[in-house]
Amino acid sequence: MDIINNLNFNTMTKIELLPESQASESTQELYGAIKSQMGKVPNVYQVYGHSSAALKANLQLGETLSGGELSKKEIEIVSLVVSQGNGCEYCLAAHSMLGGMNGMSDDEMIGVRKGIHINEKEQALISFAKAVYENKGRISQEVLSNFLATGYTNGAAVEVIGQIALNTFNNYTNNLAGTPVDFPEPKAF
């Protein structure tokens, strides 16, 4: 699968998946919780399984941020922006599936990955997330003001940063590991 335009990485697995039978007791407990929610342990979590601490941190950060101001759709918008920027095929597939589950069409998701959206508020979210991500948080007051002018709050701005951090953690892990994609391939553009 090569859904990242102009990038051609060797996707050979570099860190093997850790099956439940070989996992530590604490990782097995986390795998059990994941399976009860998702019906399986996705490959990304089997990479994280090599470190029970990293797996737990990832799950807790995601769960905590999902209870904030951003809607599930808005979380997926940020996830797609960051995953596209980091060239993570695994996360683009996962978040395209989740985006679809949260009401986004293939065309909307392609637009997000290109940095455009029809809805003014969601465009502000895309632009803000992309600016924060690309500039490592060093953005102008104008960028922040434009984001806030569409109804977002300072709290939402901080949550976007949290989502960028979480997605960067996942993107880098998957890119380093060469995690085999176990989600449907998203529509290419």
Q: What is the mean pLDDT of residues 21-29?
A: 98
Which fold does the domain 72-177 belong to in CATH? AhpD-like (1.20.1290)
pLDDT score of 5: 47
Give ranges for CATH 1.20.1290.10 in the chain. Answer: 72-177
Contact 82/171 with Cβ under 8 angstroms? yes
Using CA atoms, how far apart are residues 16 and 36, in angstroms rounded to an integer?
23
Give one DSSP letter per residue of 80-108, joined into a string. Answer: HHHHHHTT-HHHHHHHHHHHHHTT--HHH
Give the dihedral sign, CA 89/95/100/106.
negative
Question: Across residues 128-140, what is the average pLDDT?
Answer: 97
Percent of the chain topping pLDDT 70:
93
Q: How confident is the model at residue 11 (pLDDT cuts 50, 70, 90)?
A: low
138-184 per-position pLDDT tens digit = 999 999 999 999 999 999 999 999 999 999 999 999 999 999 999 99
pLDDT for 117 equals: 82
> Hey, what long-range contacts does 131-137 have (CB within 8 A, 24 or more apart)?
132/160, 132/161, 132/164, 133/81, 133/82, 133/85, 133/164, 133/168, 134/85, 137/161
